[in-house]
């Protein structure tokens, strides 16, 4: 089986670092997947099944398991979580999605990672804010995911893969 893509964690993280359902849905479709026609590996609990999606969440019991899985991926699409940093450490081509932090602050020194700030993030007033510390409600960040289109992220991932060759 090809080790193609990993979707980042979706629970237990602050709201601004949770994987959107649109990314899950893209994993199911054949045309919008991080690797059309190839298996997609998830390390997040999923609320669906699909013949191309391999759910490794039940087997990922800690950071060592997560490192083992990420290190063997061919490419990664994730939100701003430890998955991004682990993938960078192993040089795995990665697209990381950001909502409240400027991508350059997280991926500046990661040549194998492209950061994407979601459309509209600047308008929320949350850019640079710490939602938990500042007591900010998560709804404006959730709204960013409603209009999220995975295709530009996948194009950036393709660019990373071409540059790597």
In a domain, 162, yes or no: no
In a domain, 28, yes or no: yes
Residue 113's CATH number:
3.40.50.2000
In a domain, 116, yes or no: yes
In a domain, 69, yes or no: yes
> What pLDDT tens digit does each residue of the chain (165 aa) get?
445 555 555 555 665 566 555 555 554 444 445 555 667 788 877 777 878 788 888 888 889 999 999 998 888 888 888 899 999 999 999 999 998 889 999 899 999 999 999 999 898 888 887 777 677 888 888 888 887 877 888 888 888 887 766
DSSP letter string over 86-143? HHHHTT--EEEEESSS-HHHHHTT-TTEEEEEPTTGGGGT-TT--HHHHT--SHHHHH
First to last CA, the chain: 22
In a domain, 132, yes or no: yes
In a domain, 164, yes or no: no
H-type alpha helices, 29-79: 63-71
d(C-alpha 129, C-alpha 77), whole Å = 24
In a domain, 112, yes or no: yes
- Residue 65 belongs to domain spanning: 6-157
CA geometry: angle at 41 spanning 38 and 44, to 5°? 150
| Structural domains of the chain, count | 1
């Amino acid at each position: 089986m090809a080790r193609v893509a990993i979707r980042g964690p979706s629970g237990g993280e602050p709201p601004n670092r949770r994987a959107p359902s649109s990314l899950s849905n893209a994993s199911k479709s054949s045309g919008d997947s991080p690797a059309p026609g190839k298996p997609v590996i998830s390390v997040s609990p999923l609320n669906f099944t699909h013949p191309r999606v391999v759910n490794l969440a039940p087997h990922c019991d800690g950071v060592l398991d997560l490192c083992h899985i990420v290190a063997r991926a061919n490419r990664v699409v994730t939100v701003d979580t430890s998955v991004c940093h682990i993938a960078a450490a192993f040089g795995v081509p990665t697209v990381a999605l950001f909502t409240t932090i400027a991508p350059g602050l997280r991926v500046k020194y990661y040549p194998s990672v492209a950061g994407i700030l979601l459309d509209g993030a600047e308008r929320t007033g949350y850019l640079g804010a710490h939602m938990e510390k500042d007591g900010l409600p998560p709804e404006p960040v959730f709204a960013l995911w409603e209009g999220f289109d995975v295709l530009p992220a996948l194009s950036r991932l393709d660019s990373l893969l071409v540059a790597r060759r």
